[in-house]
């Protein structure tokens, strides 16, 4: 006895009879969407129709003074382009510097601990080390090690290869090795 899988378009409910007619659509942003992307299946021609009616948009994050979190705004690309009055937007985008990694002041790890603060940076944890935590450890290593030692935790050692990799301390490790010579 065999089994047969039958697929239907999530958009139209139409039966998808051929694998080469199946398209996957991942939805990243929508007013009704929760916190993470979802995916649906559709007929290939339905997916192509999505692209045909798509708007050209610019999605920007606005970091306004006095606000902790950026505001994400999507607008028609043509309207955004019109905001550039000194030179064309195409030229402005070619000469603009790459965006800095956003500091996520409210990024919390397990049990709500935010390792992107001086209060918790450098503490042992299983989560991913963020660029903000690496930067704090590099810039404030003495203060962080003093706090860690006072709490009875291991300190960060630039001669420990695991710590060098984890916190991006290669430059510091080389400098300390040169001082030791």
31-61 tens-digit pLDDT: 788 778 899 999 999 999 998 998 989 989 8
DSSP 8-state symbol, 126: S
Report the percentage of the chain scoring pLDDT > 90: 33
> What pLDDT was estimated at residue 105?
47
pTM for this one?
0.45
DSSP 8-state symbol, 123: -
Residues in the chain: 181
CA–CA gap between residue 84 and residue 26 (Å, rounded): 32
Check residues 148 and 105 and name the one with the higher pLDDT: 148
> What pLDDT was estimated at residue 10?
92
Q: Where are the domains of the chain?
A: 7-53, 57-95, 110-180
> What pLDDT was estimated at residue 107?
47
Please state the rounded mean pLDDT for residues 65-73.
Answer: 84
Instruction: Give the closest residue to 8 by CA, choosing from 43, 37, 33.
Output: 43
DSSP 8-state symbol, 96: S
Please state the rounded mean pLDDT for residues 89-109.
Answer: 74
Tell me what the pLDDT averaged over the chain comes to: 84
> What pLDDT was estimated at residue 156?
92
117-147 tens-digit pLDDT: 988 999 988 778 888 898 999 899 999 999 9
């Amino acid at each position: 006895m065999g089994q047969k899988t039958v697929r239907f378009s999530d958009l139209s409910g139409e039966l998808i009879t051929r694998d080469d007619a199946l398209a996957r659509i991942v939805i990243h942003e929508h007013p009704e969407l929760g916190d993470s992307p979802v995916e649906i299946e559709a007929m290939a021609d339905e997916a192509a129709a999505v692209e045909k009616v798509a708007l050209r948009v610019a999605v920007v994050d606005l970091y306004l003074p006095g606000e902790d979190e950026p505001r994400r705004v999507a607008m028609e690309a043509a309207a955004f382009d019109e905001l550039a009055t000194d030179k064309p937007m195409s030229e402005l985008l070619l000469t603009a510097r790459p965006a800095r990694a956003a500091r996520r002041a409210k990024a919390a790890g397990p049990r709500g601990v935010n390792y992107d603060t001086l209060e918790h940076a450098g503490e042992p944890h299983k989560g991913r080390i963020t660029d903000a935590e690496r930067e704090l450890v590099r810039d404030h290593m003495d203060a962080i090690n003093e706090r860690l030692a006072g709490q009875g935790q291991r300190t960060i050692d630039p001669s420990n290869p695991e710590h060098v990799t984890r916190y991006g301390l290669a430059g510091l490790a080389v400098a300390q090795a040169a001082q030791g010579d």
